Structure 1
Amino acid sequence: MPFLDTLCCLCLTKSRETLLHHGLDHVLRRAIRSSYRRSQAFYESFRFAHKYSINGCREHLETRKLELNLLAYEILPKVLNYARNRLHNLKDILAFLASTNSVDVPMIGYEFVANRYLLDIIKGAKEAKLFTKVHTNLTSLGKVVVYVDNAGETLIDIAILAKLARRFGIEKLTIFARRDPYEVDATYQDLINLVIEMLQDTIDDVEVDVVPRKPYPLAPINEKVNNIIKADIVFIKGIANLECFLEDVREDLANIYHENTFLLFRAKCPVLASFFNVPIGTPIVIDKLFVEEVLGYD
C-alpha cells in the first residue's frame, strides 16, 4: 500500500474541501508535500481547518459527535441484547468490533447512514472477514487495551466490552483516545466529560482507565507504554489508526505490541476494498502478524 495512493489524495482533497473553498489550497498542498506519513497529511490539514474554525468546522464536528453519541445511546439496549445472545468467543467480539466501525465522515464511495446503524452492526458482524495469522481461541482476555475511533461507535464498543467483562474474563479496560480533535473521532475529553458518564450504569463490572494519546505515531505517551506491554490483547479501531499502525511497524516503532494485537475496521475506501478484495464497507479484522507478513513490513 503506497504512502499516498492517487485515490488517497482525492479522498484527502474531498475531506478538506473547506480549505479549498476559502482559497487555502496552499495549506493542503503543503500538508501533502511536508508529510512523510499518510496519517500526518490527513491530520495536519485537518488541524489547520479546526484551529481557525474555517466555515464553522469546529462547531459542526462537535455537534455531529454529540448526535452520534446520542444515536449510539438510543440503540444501545438492542445492541447489548444482541451481544449477550450472539457474542460467545473472541472471533465473535472481533467481528462485532469491526462492524461498529461504520461511523465516519463521508469519503469517496462511502457514507454513513445513521438510521441504518443498528442494522449495519448486526449485518456486518455476520459478514466480517478475518485475515489473521494467530489463533483466535483465547477464552480469558484479562487486561484489554482499546484504541478508540469515532464518536458513537466508541460508546458502543466500551459498553459491550464492559458488559461482557465477566463472560470473557476482562479485568481491566484501558482506553487510548486522541488528545486533540480529529474529524468525528472520540477524544480523551469526550470520554471523560460525556461517554463514561453516559455509561456509568453499564461499566460497573470492570476497571476502566482512559488515557490521552498523540495523533501520530500510534504509540502512547511514554509513561503509559507499560499498559500496552502488559496487555493480554490490544484492539485498534478504525482506518486512521490502521494507517498509523502500518507506519509504526514500517518505522520499527511497534515493538511494544505483541501478536495478540488486532486491527478492526471497515474497508470504507476503494484502496482498502481493492486490497482485501471485498465490497466497500466490509468489516475487516487483521492482526500484527498479518501486517508484518502480508504487507511486507517484517
Structure 2
Amino acid sequence: MRSSWYVSASDCLLCVLESRFSELKKLGINDATSFIDLGRTVMNLAPLGRATVFIESFNSMTRMLSNMLSNNDPHTDEKLMLERVAGELISGLRLGDDVIDYVKLAASANSVDVPMRGYNFSVKDFVRNILEEPAWLDTDPASLRNRLNHVGSIAYLVDNAGEFQFDLLLIRKLVSMGIKVVVYARSRPYEVDVTYDYIINLARNFEARALPGNYSAFWYDDVVRELMNYDLVISKGLDNLETFMEKRPGLNNVLFLFRAKCPLIARLFNVDSNKPVILMGTERLRTPA
C-alpha cells in the first residue's frame, strides 16, 4: 500500500478484506471463487493507496454481484432499515435550542458502518450510545458555538445512512440560524453511505450537490476548490477524515465529526476506541516532521 504517514499497510489491508468478505457473506455468497477474486483485486489495488483500495474494491465487488442487484447497491435494504431505526430513535429524543447538542448528536451517530477490523456495528449499540459525550479536540463547546454563530455558509459532507437522520437535524438547525448549507453526497453507492439520489428528496431549505463519483469530496480537486469558498466545512465519518489525511487538500476550515472506530485512528488521536470525536481544524492531521 502506498505509504501514508498514518497508515499501517498490514492493518489496512486486513481491514478492507474483512469489510469486503463480510459484505459477501451478508449477501449470501458462499463460493470460494468470489472471495479469491475479490482478495486478488484488493492486493492488486493495494499499491495505489488507502482510498483507492477501499473504494475500488467495493466497486469491483458491486460489478461482481451486478447480476443479483436491481440497482447496483448491495446495501439498499440495510440503508432503509438504518434510516427507519434512526427515525424511531429521534422521535424519543428531547432536543433543546443549543446548536452544540445537535453537533454532539451528529458526531455520536457515526457508529453506523460496515464491519471493519476492530469494529462491528450493531443497532443495539447505535441506540444505546447515541447520547455519548464526544471528545473535544482543538475546540470546545463555547468556541464552536461562537464560530457557528458567525458563519454565513457551510458545506456539509455526509456519510452513512441512519446517521444521516441526525445530520439532517443539525443541517436544519444551522439553516434556522440563517446559515446557507450545501450538502455534498456521493453520486454512486459506497458501502452504507447515503447518496445524492436519496438526499435530494429530503432537501428542504438547503442545497444538495452530487459528487462526481463515490470517493470522498476531498478526493476531487474541483470540489476542493469549491469547499475553499465556504466559511466552514463539516466533514462526517472516517472515510472523509482519512481521505483528507491522504490527499492533504490544503483546507483549514474543516470541522471533523466522527467516531474513532479504526484502532489506528483511536491511537492517533489518543482517544478510546469507538469514541465520538469533534475536531476543529487540521493541525493534528499534518504529516509529522
Same fold (TM over 0.5): yes
Matches within 5 A, 1:1-298: 1-17=5-21, 18=24, 21-24=31-34, 25-34=36-45, 35-53=47-65, 60-79=74-93, 81-82=94-95, 84-85=96-97, 87-89=98-100, 92-123=101-132, 126=133, 128-132=134-138, 136=144, 137-138=146-147, 139-166=149-176, 168-170=177-179, 172-193=180-201, 196=202, 203=204, 206-216=205-215, 218-219=217-218, 227-249=226-248, 254-255=249-250, 257=251, 259-293=252-286, 295-296=287-288
Give, in angstroms, the shift of residue 224 of structure 1: 5.6
**Matched position secondary structure for 1:106:** coil
Q: What TM-score results when the alignment is normalised by the length of structure 1?
A: 0.78
Hey, what's the Cα distance between the residues in 2 that align with 1:234 and 1:131?
16
Instruction: String of CA shifts for 1:211-252, please: whole Å, max 9, x gaps.
Output: 334334634767766642221110111111111111110xxx
Would the alpha carbon gap of residues 143 and 59 (structure 1) be closer, same or farther in structure 2, given more than 3 Å must change?
closer
Where structure 1 has 5 or more consecutive residues not aligned to the other structure, the ranges are none
Deviations 1:129-172 (A, max 9, x none): 12227953312332111111001111220233213533x432x2
Q: Structure 1 residue 266: deviation in Å?
A: 0.5
- Tell whether the 8 Å contact from 1:268 to 1:281 is kept in structure 2 after alignment: yes
Q: Relative to 1, partners in 2 of residues 1:120 and 1:133: Cα closer, same or farther, differing over 3 Å?
A: closer
Displacement of 1:2 in angstroms is 4.0
1:184: how far off?
A: 0.4
Measured in 2, the distance between the counterparts of 1:182 and 1:289 equals 25
- Structure 2: runs of 5 or more not aligned: none
Paired amino acid for 2:181: L
Q: 1:8-59: per-residue Cα shift (whole Å, max 9, x none)?
A: 1111111121389542434433434434220110111111111232795756
Counterpart Cα distance in 2 of 1:158 and 1:240: 19
Aligned pair count reads: 271
Structure 2 vs 1, CA of residues 277 and 292 (structure 1 numbering), >3 Å: closer, same or farther? Answer: closer
Question: Quick check: 1:133–1:290 contact (8 Å CA) kept in 2?
Answer: no
